[in-house]
Amino acid sequence: MPELPEVEVTRRSFAQRIQGARILHARAGLPLRWPLGRGAEQLAGLTVLRVDRRGKYLLLQLDDGVLLVHLGMSGSLSFRADAPPPGRHDHFDLVTTQGTLRLNDPRRFGAVLWSASLQVDPARKLLGSLGVEPLGDAFDPAAFHAGLKARRAPIKQVLLAGDVVVGVGNIYASEALFLAGIRPTTRADRLSRARADRLHAAIRQVLMRAVERGGSTLRNFSSAAGESGHFQAEAAVYGRAGQPCLRCATPLRQIRQGQRSTFFCPMCQRA
Protein backbone atom coordinates (compact mmCIF):
# COMPACT_ATOMS: atom_id res chain seq x y z
CA MET A 1 0.00 0.00 0.00
CA PRO A 2 1.34 3.48 -0.80
CA GLU A 3 2.18 5.17 2.51
CA LEU A 4 2.82 8.81 3.41
CA PRO A 5 6.22 9.08 1.68
CA GLU A 6 4.84 7.59 -1.53
CA VAL A 7 1.85 9.95 -1.46
CA GLU A 8 4.08 12.96 -0.81
CA VAL A 9 6.44 11.89 -3.60
CA THR A 10 3.43 11.58 -5.90
CA ARG A 11 2.21 15.04 -4.91
CA ARG A 12 5.58 16.64 -5.57
CA SER A 13 5.87 14.92 -8.95
CA PHE A 14 2.87 16.70 -10.48
CA ALA A 15 1.72 19.52 -8.16
CA GLN A 16 3.56 22.32 -9.91
CA ARG A 17 2.77 21.02 -13.38
CA ILE A 18 -0.99 20.91 -12.80
CA GLN A 19 -1.25 24.13 -10.79
CA GLY A 20 -3.36 26.67 -12.63
CA ALA A 21 -4.66 24.13 -15.14
CA ARG A 22 -8.26 24.32 -16.31
CA ILE A 23 -10.21 21.06 -16.34
CA LEU A 24 -11.44 20.20 -19.83
CA HIS A 25 -13.34 17.09 -18.82
CA ALA A 26 -13.26 14.15 -16.42
CA ARG A 27 -13.84 10.46 -17.00
CA ALA A 28 -14.98 8.05 -14.27
CA GLY A 29 -14.52 4.35 -15.08
CA LEU A 30 -15.46 1.39 -12.91
CA PRO A 31 -16.68 2.28 -9.39
CA LEU A 32 -13.98 2.94 -6.83
CA ARG A 33 -14.14 2.78 -3.03
CA TRP A 34 -16.53 5.74 -2.78
CA PRO A 35 -18.62 7.58 -5.38
CA LEU A 36 -17.27 10.77 -6.89
CA GLY A 37 -20.00 12.82 -5.22
CA ARG A 38 -20.50 15.08 -8.21
CA GLY A 39 -21.12 14.40 -11.85
CA ALA A 40 -17.83 14.07 -13.72
CA GLU A 41 -19.15 16.49 -16.32
CA GLN A 42 -19.58 19.15 -13.62
CA LEU A 43 -15.83 19.32 -13.09
CA ALA A 44 -15.29 20.75 -16.57
CA GLY A 45 -14.30 24.40 -16.52
CA LEU A 46 -12.92 24.37 -12.97
CA THR A 47 -9.33 25.36 -12.23
CA VAL A 48 -6.78 23.45 -10.14
CA LEU A 49 -5.41 26.02 -7.70
CA ARG A 50 -2.88 23.80 -5.91
CA VAL A 51 -2.26 20.26 -4.66
CA ASP A 52 -1.95 19.62 -0.91
CA ARG A 53 -1.70 16.46 1.17
CA ARG A 54 -3.31 15.36 4.43
CA GLY A 55 -2.07 12.00 5.65
CA LYS A 56 -2.42 9.65 2.70
CA TYR A 57 -4.98 11.87 0.92
CA LEU A 58 -4.05 14.16 -1.94
CA LEU A 59 -6.14 17.32 -1.99
CA LEU A 60 -6.65 19.00 -5.34
CA GLN A 61 -7.89 22.44 -4.36
CA LEU A 62 -10.25 23.73 -7.06
CA ASP A 63 -11.90 27.10 -7.51
CA ASP A 64 -15.11 25.26 -6.59
CA GLY A 65 -14.51 22.62 -3.95
CA VAL A 66 -11.72 20.08 -3.53
CA LEU A 67 -11.00 16.66 -5.02
CA LEU A 68 -9.74 14.11 -2.50
CA VAL A 69 -7.63 11.33 -4.00
CA HIS A 70 -6.66 8.18 -2.09
CA LEU A 71 -4.44 5.55 -3.69
CA GLY A 72 -5.87 2.64 -1.70
CA MET A 73 -3.92 -0.63 -1.73
CA SER A 74 -2.59 -0.62 -5.28
CA GLY A 75 -3.29 2.76 -6.83
CA SER A 76 -0.90 5.14 -8.56
CA LEU A 77 -1.25 8.42 -10.38
CA SER A 78 0.30 9.52 -13.64
CA PHE A 79 0.33 12.98 -15.17
CA ARG A 80 1.13 13.21 -18.85
CA ALA A 81 0.60 15.69 -21.64
CA ASP A 82 0.21 12.80 -24.11
CA ALA A 83 -1.75 10.23 -22.13
CA PRO A 84 -2.64 7.10 -24.14
CA PRO A 85 -6.19 5.73 -24.21
CA PRO A 86 -7.21 4.42 -20.76
CA GLY A 87 -6.44 0.79 -20.02
CA ARG A 88 -8.27 -1.88 -18.05
CA HIS A 89 -7.22 -0.57 -14.64
CA ASP A 90 -7.41 3.16 -15.40
CA HIS A 91 -10.49 4.22 -13.44
CA PHE A 92 -10.35 8.01 -13.38
CA ASP A 93 -9.03 10.68 -15.75
CA LEU A 94 -8.86 14.40 -15.09
CA VAL A 95 -8.07 15.97 -18.45
CA THR A 96 -6.69 19.49 -18.10
CA THR A 97 -5.11 22.15 -20.27
CA GLN A 98 -1.71 21.05 -18.92
CA GLY A 99 -2.05 17.27 -19.07
CA THR A 100 -4.09 14.28 -17.94
CA LEU A 101 -4.06 13.11 -14.33
CA ARG A 102 -4.93 9.41 -14.33
CA LEU A 103 -5.62 7.00 -11.47
CA ASN A 104 -4.58 3.41 -12.16
CA ASP A 105 -5.85 1.02 -9.48
CA PRO A 106 -6.01 -2.74 -10.18
CA ARG A 107 -7.78 -3.54 -6.89
CA ARG A 108 -10.08 -0.47 -6.90
CA PHE A 109 -9.67 0.28 -3.19
CA GLY A 110 -8.63 3.83 -4.05
CA ALA A 111 -10.97 6.77 -4.37
CA VAL A 112 -11.55 10.13 -6.01
CA LEU A 113 -14.30 12.22 -4.45
CA TRP A 114 -15.41 15.83 -4.51
CA SER A 115 -16.24 17.88 -1.43
CA ALA A 116 -17.52 21.44 -1.35
CA SER A 117 -14.77 22.26 1.16
CA LEU A 118 -12.53 20.61 3.76
CA GLN A 119 -14.89 21.78 6.51
CA VAL A 120 -17.92 19.80 5.34
CA ASP A 121 -18.60 16.13 4.61
CA PRO A 122 -17.26 14.01 3.02
CA ALA A 123 -13.88 15.72 3.56
CA ARG A 124 -14.62 16.48 7.22
CA LYS A 125 -15.58 12.88 7.92
CA LEU A 126 -12.50 11.44 6.22
CA LEU A 127 -9.91 13.90 7.52
CA GLY A 128 -11.32 15.03 10.84
CA SER A 129 -9.96 12.18 12.97
CA LEU A 130 -6.45 12.13 11.49
CA GLY A 131 -3.52 12.76 13.80
CA VAL A 132 -0.83 15.39 13.46
CA GLU A 133 1.34 15.51 10.34
CA PRO A 134 4.76 13.98 11.21
CA LEU A 135 6.66 16.19 8.77
CA GLY A 136 5.03 19.43 9.88
CA ASP A 137 5.88 21.92 12.60
CA ALA A 138 2.86 20.82 14.66
CA PHE A 139 4.49 17.42 15.37
CA ASP A 140 5.53 18.37 18.90
CA PRO A 141 7.53 15.91 21.09
CA ALA A 142 5.63 16.74 24.29
CA ALA A 143 2.23 16.38 22.63
CA PHE A 144 3.37 13.15 20.98
CA HIS A 145 4.39 11.69 24.34
CA ALA A 146 1.07 12.77 25.89
CA GLY A 147 -0.80 11.03 23.08
CA LEU A 148 1.15 7.82 23.65
CA LYS A 149 0.50 7.93 27.40
CA ALA A 150 -3.22 7.75 26.67
CA ARG A 151 -2.90 4.53 24.68
CA ARG A 152 -2.45 1.04 26.14
CA ALA A 153 -2.01 -0.78 22.81
CA PRO A 154 1.38 -1.92 21.46
CA ILE A 155 3.34 1.03 20.11
CA LYS A 156 3.49 -0.34 16.55
CA GLN A 157 -0.30 -0.56 16.36
CA VAL A 158 -0.71 2.91 17.86
CA LEU A 159 1.52 4.32 15.13
CA LEU A 160 -0.49 2.56 12.43
CA ALA A 161 -3.83 3.75 13.87
CA GLY A 162 -3.11 7.28 12.67
CA ASP A 163 -4.92 9.21 15.39
CA VAL A 164 -1.82 10.21 17.37
CA VAL A 165 0.37 10.81 14.33
CA VAL A 166 -0.85 10.26 10.78
CA GLY A 167 0.79 8.42 7.91
CA VAL A 168 3.40 6.29 9.67
CA GLY A 169 2.55 3.14 7.73
CA ASN A 170 3.78 -0.40 8.19
CA ILE A 171 7.19 -0.13 6.55
CA TYR A 172 8.14 3.12 8.22
CA ALA A 173 6.80 2.20 11.67
CA SER A 174 9.10 -0.85 11.72
CA GLU A 175 12.04 1.24 10.58
CA ALA A 176 11.42 4.07 13.05
CA LEU A 177 11.02 1.69 15.99
CA PHE A 178 14.30 0.02 15.09
CA LEU A 179 16.08 3.35 14.83
CA ALA A 180 14.68 4.36 18.24
CA GLY A 181 15.55 0.98 19.82
CA ILE A 182 11.96 0.22 20.85
CA ARG A 183 10.34 -3.21 20.57
CA PRO A 184 7.13 -3.04 18.51
CA THR A 185 5.13 -4.92 21.16
CA THR A 186 5.91 -2.42 23.95
CA ARG A 187 2.77 -0.72 25.28
CA ALA A 188 2.61 2.89 24.15
CA ASP A 189 1.73 4.23 27.59
CA ARG A 190 4.89 2.69 29.07
CA LEU A 191 7.29 4.74 26.97
CA SER A 192 9.21 7.33 28.97
CA ARG A 193 9.50 10.87 27.70
CA ALA A 194 13.11 10.19 26.68
CA ARG A 195 12.16 7.12 24.64
CA ALA A 196 9.18 8.91 23.10
CA ASP A 197 11.51 11.73 22.08
CA ARG A 198 13.82 9.23 20.37
CA LEU A 199 10.86 7.75 18.52
CA HIS A 200 9.61 11.20 17.54
CA ALA A 201 13.00 12.01 16.01
CA ALA A 202 13.22 8.58 14.34
CA ILE A 203 9.80 8.97 12.70
CA ARG A 204 10.79 12.29 11.15
CA GLN A 205 14.19 10.99 10.07
CA VAL A 206 12.82 7.84 8.44
CA LEU A 207 9.95 9.59 6.64
CA MET A 208 12.14 12.42 5.38
CA ARG A 209 14.71 9.97 4.07
CA ALA A 210 11.97 7.92 2.39
CA VAL A 211 10.68 11.02 0.60
CA GLU A 212 14.22 11.86 -0.51
CA ARG A 213 14.59 8.35 -1.95
CA GLY A 214 11.29 8.53 -3.83
CA GLY A 215 9.39 6.26 -1.44
CA SER A 216 9.39 2.46 -1.50
CA THR A 217 8.53 0.36 -4.54
CA LEU A 218 7.73 -3.14 -3.29
CA ARG A 219 5.37 -4.07 -6.12
CA ASN A 220 4.28 -1.45 -8.62
CA PHE A 221 4.45 2.00 -7.02
CA SER A 222 5.73 4.85 -9.16
CA SER A 223 5.37 8.60 -8.95
CA ALA A 224 3.17 10.61 -11.30
CA ALA A 225 6.30 11.06 -13.41
CA GLY A 226 6.72 7.27 -13.70
CA GLU A 227 9.71 7.01 -11.33
CA SER A 228 10.11 4.11 -8.87
CA GLY A 229 11.14 4.54 -5.24
CA HIS A 230 14.40 3.29 -3.75
CA PHE A 231 13.99 3.47 0.02
CA GLN A 232 13.35 -0.29 0.25
CA ALA A 233 17.00 -0.88 -0.62
CA GLU A 234 17.99 0.98 2.56
CA ALA A 235 15.54 -0.73 4.94
CA ALA A 236 17.27 -1.88 8.12
CA VAL A 237 14.61 -4.38 9.24
CA TYR A 238 11.55 -4.37 6.98
CA GLY A 239 11.43 -7.48 4.79
CA ARG A 240 14.70 -8.82 6.25
CA ALA A 241 13.46 -11.55 8.61
CA GLY A 242 16.22 -14.10 9.30
CA GLN A 243 18.96 -11.84 7.98
CA PRO A 244 21.59 -10.40 10.33
CA CYS A 245 20.90 -7.09 12.04
CA LEU A 246 23.00 -4.34 10.52
CA ARG A 247 24.03 -3.24 14.01
CA CYS A 248 24.60 -6.42 16.02
CA ALA A 249 24.33 -9.29 13.48
CA THR A 250 21.53 -10.98 15.45
CA PRO A 251 18.99 -12.60 13.09
CA LEU A 252 16.00 -10.32 12.61
CA ARG A 253 12.53 -11.55 13.52
CA GLN A 254 9.10 -11.24 11.96
CA ILE A 255 5.80 -11.33 13.87
CA ARG A 256 2.18 -10.52 13.06
CA GLN A 257 0.47 -7.56 14.68
CA GLY A 258 -3.08 -6.72 13.69
CA GLN A 259 -2.78 -8.75 10.46
CA ARG A 260 0.37 -6.84 9.48
CA SER A 261 3.95 -8.06 9.38
CA THR A 262 6.35 -6.49 11.87
CA PHE A 263 10.13 -6.77 11.65
CA PHE A 264 12.55 -6.07 14.49
CA CYS A 265 15.87 -6.99 16.10
CA PRO A 266 15.42 -8.92 19.37
CA MET A 267 18.75 -7.60 20.63
CA CYS A 268 18.67 -3.94 19.64
CA GLN A 269 14.96 -3.65 20.48
CA ARG A 270 14.77 -5.46 23.79
CA ALA A 271 11.97 -3.39 25.31
Is 84 a residue of the active site?
no
Q: What is the DSSP letter of 76?
A: E
Is 3 a residue of the active site?
yes
Q: Which of 54, 80, 209, 260 is catalytic?
A: 260
d(CA 37, CA 77): 20
Quick one: CA dihedral 255, 257, 260, 263, positive or negative? negative
Is there a contact between 188 and 199 (Cβ–Cβ < 8 Å)? no
Q: Which of 11, 56, 183, 198 is catalytic?
A: 56
Q: Choose among 91, 7, 98, 5: nearest CA to 47.
A: 98
Cα–Cα distance list, 241 to 94, 215, 221, 261, 263 (Å)? 42, 21, 23, 10, 7
d(CA 75, CA 103): 7
Quick one: CA dihedral 131, 136, 138, 141, positive or negative? positive
Q: Which of 3, 6, 8, 175 is catalytic?
A: 3
Is 260 a residue of the active site?
yes
Quick one: CA dihedral 166, 172, 178, 179, positive or negative? negative
3-state SS, residue 135: coil
Residues assigned a catalytic role: 2-3, 56, 260
